[in-house]
Chain A
Amino acid sequence: DTAVSQTPKYLVTQMGNDKSIKCEQNLGHDTMYWYKQDSKKFLKIMFSYNNKELIINETVPNRFSPKSPDKAHLNLHINSLELGDSAVYFCASSLGVGDGGELFFGEGSRLTVL
C-alpha cells in the first residue's frame, strides 16, 4: 500500500485553465503539506494543514486553494494557471506538526502549463 499517494502524476494544460491535484495518506498522520519543486530542484513549502486546519500559507497566490476534507486528504486546486506554475508539486505528511519528525512524500505531480 502506498503511504502517500497523489493523482495525477502528470498534468499538461493551457494557460488560464483550472486544475486540481489530489493527495491521500494512509499513515494516520495529523499533518499534511504541499511543497513545490522548481526546475532547479529547489523545494519550497506552500501550505501545511494539521487536523484539517490550515497552519501555514507561505505567501502563495490566491489562485492556489488547498482543501482538507479530512485529515487523510489534502487537495490542491489551482485557478487561472500561469506559465510560472509549471513545477512538480509534492504532497507530504508527518505524524505531528513541527515535531522534527520524518516527512513522508508522495511521488509528485508534474504540472506543465503551455
Chain B
Amino acid sequence: SQQGEEDPQALSIQEGENATMNCSYKTSINNLQWYRQNSGRGLVHLILIRSNEREKHSGRLRVTLDTSKKSSSLLITASRAADTASYFCATDGRPTPGGSYIPTFGRGTSLIVHP
C-alpha cells in the first residue's frame, strides 16, 4: 500500500504570510484528502479532491492536484496563529478484500505561525 509523503516536515512563518505544504504519492489514486491536527487532538478533515479535479477552494484553503506528477499541495493564505497545527494528506492506501481503499496517512507537516 502507498502513503502520502508530506513536505516540508516543518514550516515556520509569520502571521499574514502564505503557507504551502506538499504531498507526493507513488501510485494512481481515486482521491486525496487533507486533514489538520491541533496539538493533542484528533484529526479534522479539511478538504477532499478527486483525481479528475485539479483545484479546490475552501475559505483560505486552496488544494491543487497534479496526477501527472503524483503530487498535491495545500495552500493556506493569510495565515493566522490559530492555523498552527500539523497537516496531513491521506491517499487511497490499503485495499480491502472488497476492492475499496482505506485512507493512508504520512507523518504530516508541522506548521507554526508566529503572531
**Nearest chain A CB to B101 CB, angstrom units:** 5
| Complexed CA–CA distance, A101 and B37 (Å) | 18
Interface size on B, residues (CB 8 A): 34
Chain A interface residue bracket vs B:
20 to 34
User: Inside 8 A of B45's CB, which chain A residues have their CB?
Assistant: 102-104
* CB-based contact B101/A90 at 8 Å: no
Stretch of A11-19, A39-47, A61-69, A72-80 contacting B (4+ beta carbons < 8 Å): A39-47
Instruction: Find B100's partner among A40, A41, A58, A97 (CB 8 Å cutoff).
Output: A97
**Nearest chain B CB to A59 CB, angstrom units:** 10
Instruction: Find A102's partner among B33, B41, B93, B104 (CB 8 Å cutoff).
Output: B33
Counting CB contacts under 8 A, is A55 at the interface? Answer: yes
User: Inside 8 A of B103's CB, which chain A residues have their CB?
Assistant: 45, 103
Residues of B participating in the A interface, judged by any CB pair closer than 8 Å: 30-31, 33, 35, 37, 40-45, 48, 50, 86, 88, 90, 92-108, 110
